[in-house]
Amino acid sequence: MPVFDSRSFKDHEQVVFISDEKTGLKAIVAVHSTALGPATGGCRFWDYYATHKGSPVDVAQTRGEQDAVYDVLRLSRGMSYKNAMAGLRLGGGKSVIIGNSRELGTPELMAAFGRAVNKLGGMYYAAEDVGTSPDMMEAVHTETDYVAGLAEGEFATGDPSPHTALGVFVGIKAACEHKYGSDSLEGKTVAIQGVGHVGAVLADHLRDAGAKIIIADIVQSNIDAVLKNGPAEVVEPSRIHAVDCDVFAPCALGGGINPKTIPEIKAKVIAGAANNVLETEGVDDQALMERGILYAPDYVINAGGIISVEFEVHKEKIQGDMRKTKVLRIGETLKEVFETAEKDGRPSGIVANEMAEAIIKAAQDKTLSAAAE
């Protein structure tokens, strides 16, 4: 897999490979941009090798590590775009730890990761993501202050998941208004793929708004927790994208919108919390547009969590409804993306990319201009 010539690597400032033999840590930190502020993004702990289980060990290792590189590059670039579109004073970065978090995610390993982050000197701030927990981030915090989303501390903002879920809920309403002519979710059916920390809270918002929900998850306890709070139809994970619904909300891992699934999607709106939901940007969003399906660019709609974290990174106490007000603006940003895409006859994903890139370039130009004076 070429790295320097790939679109995923485009404009990255730094990529760091980390290992610690004692704890078994294998990690990658990707800093895409610091034009708007310190690169900030979650630490994903994922077993990339497991995807290639059954292949010879050396093949599984090579392909798994290639997947990890591709993932961290796409995710970090997405964070730059996400932070730019949310109007934050943060750049874009991401990290991945390779392996099974239940087996390897010890306090010692997370502390080793924290030491590595600390060596970057504030260029990158880590936060919770898929496979990591608040406790694990506390272990990172024992070795560095460059971590956000903590449960305790003077500027702690806590679990970002509820804020992500609120932003997705607001984004779904904005998408429905654009596609169906009303932001009311009364009587609408929403299919949620993945009901973990974010998807479960989103399910509650949707039910409270009068929507019927269909859910799927590979973890039974996640499904049980949602059903405990109210009614939901449960389907197999392999079917959730193809159910009869008004809105499909991917809230699991990325890549689920691809040439295989797109022809099977019945929803006219795709709006969810998953990052990098398009397998191939510019291709899959074009295919969605041609089918008359409105796509809410993932990094725009799922920015609620990073909006919460911004205050912590900049050591600012949250005053009143400052955080909620910023999260609610996600709906207005999406409306601008939808209207521009419709007017230009282009995919919403491409339009959002160009908007984000313009914001980042303006910040870079400003910095260069100041340095030249």
Longest dimension (CA), the chain: 62
pLDDT of 342 over the 70 cut: yes
pLDDT at 111: 98
236 & 172 share domain: yes
What pTM did the predictor assign?
A: 0.90
Q: Kind and range of the H or E element at 93?
A: strand 91-98
167 & 263 share domain: yes
Query: Does the annotation list 205 as a binding residue?
Result: no
Residue 116: φ, ψ to 5°: -65, -45
pLDDT at 7: 66
pLDDT at 91: 97
Average pLDDT, the chain: 93
DSSP state letters, 41-87: EEEEEE-TTGGGBTB-HHHHHHHHHHHHHHHHHHHHHHHHHHHHHTT
131 & 172 share domain: no
Residue 94 annotated among the catalytic residues of the structure = yes
280 & 349 share domain: yes
| For range 59-86, the mean pLDDT | 92
pLDDT higher at 112 or 6: 112
Pick the catalytic residue from 94, 173, 212, 326: 94
Looking at the DSSP assignment, which residues form a beta bridge with residue 216?
A: 193
CATH number at 216 reads 3.40.50.720
Residue 72: φ, ψ to 5°: -65, -30
pLDDT at 253: 80
Query: Does the annotation list 197 as a binding residue?
Result: yes
* Cα dihedral across residues 52, 58, 59, 64: positive or negative: positive
Domain count, the chain: 2
Summarize pLDDT for 246-281 with one digit per residue, the tens: 999 999 988 899 999 999 999 999 999 998 899 998
| Pairwise CA distance, residues 83 & 90, whole Å | 6
% of the chain exceeding 70 in pLDDT: 98
Neighbour order of strands in the sheet with 212-216: 233-234, 212-216, 189-193, 247-250, 269-270, 294-295
pLDDT of 343 over the 80 cut: yes
Q: Is residue 24 part of a domain?
A: yes
Q: Is residue 165 part of a domain?
A: yes
Query: Does the annotation list 199 as a binding residue?
Result: yes
Summarize pLDDT for 205-234 with one digit per residue, the tens: 999 999 999 999 999 999 999 999 999 999
Query: Does the annotation list 247 as a binding residue?
Result: no
CATH number at 55 reads 3.40.50.10860
| Pairwise CA distance, residues 45 & 226, whole Å | 24
Secondary structure class of 337 (helix, strand, coil): helix
Summarize pLDDT for 263-272 with one digit per residue, the tens: 999 999 999 9
Contact 135, 158 (CB under 8 A): no
| For range 135-149, the mean pLDDT | 94
pLDDT at 1: 56
| Pairwise CA distance, residues 231 & 166, whole Å | 20
pLDDT at 224: 97
Supply the range of the domain harboring residue 341.
161-304+329-357
118 & 225 share domain: no
100 & 226 share domain: no
pLDDT bin (cut points 50, 70, 90) of residue 109 is very high
Query: Does the annotation list 190 as a binding residue?
Result: no
pLDDT bin (cut points 50, 70, 90) of residue 101 is very high
Summarize pLDDT for 169-208 with one digit per residue, the tens: 999 999 999 999 999 999 999 999 999 989 999 999 999 9
| For range 282-291, the mean pLDDT | 96
